[in-house]
Chains A and B, each alone.
Chain A
């Protein structure tokens, strides 16, 4: 394959890569940079592409590394709230009463599998992700979308496992509450 052919094939996946990057970084400009970096690295690393995996899979692998790098830089930026501020447990107190019972117990969502094929549901998911504190959202994406394990994330971001558990707990509690309020409760009302 000539370099020009290879380049054309790589660029055919640009749209897909950009979509993944925007989802995970939640920042269009940063996502553009990361995809640009990925395409460049792919061109320079053409020899590393064995053809055993699909080109898309190979590019996605490179993209993941670039995204992790970008997130690591982002959470260390002094202009964003430091990660430590998003790993405090105090603000969960309102969710529970004095003896640790749920103030508003999670409702039964029935069989929510069907929602996974509805586009409007994912609009609500996106809305709820947007409401998370930015670093909390990024860490949650590293765990659940990029599927990095706990020790990997702690190493990448230089945080303790306790910090990580609190951040992920915060993300899950907030997301489930938001989905319940804006989707499942609304569905129950209109049923």
Chain B
């Protein structure tokens, strides 16, 4: 199993996931991190929500 990543790393990868696919190993580390981290789970939801916000904003 890969090493655990910090919130700092996880949040950067979560943002990157919005812009294309992450390599499998990194995606797995993010998923694993999210299982145990409520703060980053919120961050991930909010980043996806921002996309909806921007689409609505420009209509």
Given A23-B58, A116-B52, A125-B57, A172–B6 Cβ distance below 8 Å? no
Using Cβ atoms and an 8 Å threshold, which residues of chain A touch B52?
113, 116
Residue of A23, A101, A116, A173 touching B53 (CB-CB under 8 A): A116
Residue pair A176, B43 in contact (C-beta under 8 Å): yes
A145 contacts the other chain (Cβ, under 8 Å)?
yes
Count of chain A residues with a beta carbon within 8 Å of a chain B beta carbon: 37
- Judging by beta carbons under 8 Å apart, are A109 and B49 in contact? yes
User: Contacts A106-B39, A150-B19 hold; do A145 and B9 have CB atoms under 8 A apart?
Assistant: no
Q: Are B58 and A149 in contact, CB atoms less than 8 angstroms apart?
A: no
**CB-defined contacts of A105 to chain B, threshold 8 Å:** 38-39, 42
Are B20 and A149 in contact (CB-based, < 8 A)?
yes
With known contacts A144-B51, A165-B16, A165-B19, A109–B39 Cβ distance under 8 A:
no
The distance in angstroms between the C-alpha atoms of A173 and B55, with both chains bound, is 18
When the two chains form their complex, are residues B57 and A145 in contact, meaning their CB atoms are under 8 A apart?
yes
B1 within 8 A of A: no
Q: Does chain A have a CB within 8 A of B3? A: no
List residues of A (163-191) whose CB comes within 8 Å of B's CBs.
164-165, 168-169, 172-173, 175-176, 179
CA distance A129 to B30 in the complex (A): 28
State in angstroms the CA–CA spacing of A113 and B50 once bound together: 11
The answer to whether B54 has its CB under 8 Å from any CB of chain A is: yes
* A125: B residues at CB distance < 8 A: 53, 57
Q: Does A99 contact B (CB under 8 A)?
A: yes
Tell me whether A109 and B57 are in contact (CB under 8 A). Answer: no
B42–A107 touching, CB < 8 Å: yes
A105–B43 Cα distance when bound, in Å, is 9
A122, B47: Cα distance in complex, Å: 16
Residue A92 at the chain B interface, CB threshold 8 Å: yes
Contacts of A109 in B (CB 8 A): 42, 45-46, 49
Find the B residue at minimum CB distance from A129.
Answer: B57
Q: List 8 A-B contacts (CB under 8 A).
A: A102-B40, A106-B42, A116-B52, A164-B19, A165-B12, A168-B15, A169-B12, A176-B46
